[in-house]
Amino acid sequence: MNTKQALAQARKRWGKKAVVQDIKLDTSPERREQARKRYAELKDLKGDALTPELKKERDNIRSWQWTFRFAVGRIESIAGAFEAFWVKGQGDTWEQAFAEADAKDKKAA
């Protein structure tokens, strides 16, 4: 499935405010595992051991632990004033992202 097909499928499910995202980076399970291990090494550093470079690396790695390449969802209002991308599913493939969204929708129903 390509991005155009994913958007068409998302719009069938959630209407015109559907959104799909392909961050086009290597977010493989191996990459996420490496990020988790490195974060575990860095998370307890304090004082002089935590240089500005290591702090920046730790902060960047924190998000990589849970980053998937593909995400699907919709734009929804927050407090009636702001709109944001509400992720309903994410995964290493479009199919995984939609499967997670389906599971969340079934759980919510």
Q: Is 33 exposed, middle or buried (0-12, 13-18, 19+ CB in 10 A)?
A: exposed
Q: For residues 5 and 16, what is the distance between their CA atoms, to the nearest angstrom? A: 14
- Alpha carbon of 19 to those of 15, 29, 68, 89: distances in Å? 10, 23, 15, 11
- What is the per-residue pLDDT for 95? 93
Q: Decide if pLDDT at 20 tops 70.
A: yes
Read off the pLDDT of each residue in 5-33 and give the average, rounded to a whole number.
88
Q: Which residue has the higher pLDDT, 108 or 100?
A: 100
Residue 25 is predicted with a pLDDT of: 75
Per domain, the residue ranges of the chain are 1-26+68-109, 28-66
Which pLDDT tens digit goes with each residue over 45-90? 878 888 888 888 888 787 766 778 888 988 888 777 788 878 889 8
